[in-house]
Amino acid sequence: MAYIVIDAVIDLAWTRKRYPEAPDGFFIKPAAIADEVWHVIHQDRSAWSFNVEIRPFAEKW
C-alpha cells in the first residue's frame, strides 16, 4: 500500500489544448507516472517509501 500524490498537469490531448503555450516540461507523461507507481510497488523492502509525490522536473521551488 502507498499514498501517491500527482501534483502536475498530466500530458493528455485535452490538457495540451487547455495550456497551448506551456512548455513540455510543464506536463508529466502518463508513462512516467506508471513507471513510478511500478517502482513503488516493487521497491526494496529494506528502504520502504509509503508517501510519494510526483511532480514535473521543471517545477520551480
Q: What is the DSSP code (8-state) at residue 57?
A: T
**Is it the case that residue 26 has pLDDT exceeding 90?**
yes
Average pLDDT of span 40-47: 92
CA–CA dist 54, 52 (Å, integer): 7
Question: How far is Cα of residue 46 from the mean position of the Cα atoms in its chain?
Answer: 24
* Domains of the chain, residue spans: 3-54
Backbone CA torsion sign across 25, 26, 30, 33: positive
Average pLDDT of span 31-51: 94
**Is it the case that residue 57 has pLDDT exceeding 90?**
no
pTM of the model: 0.86
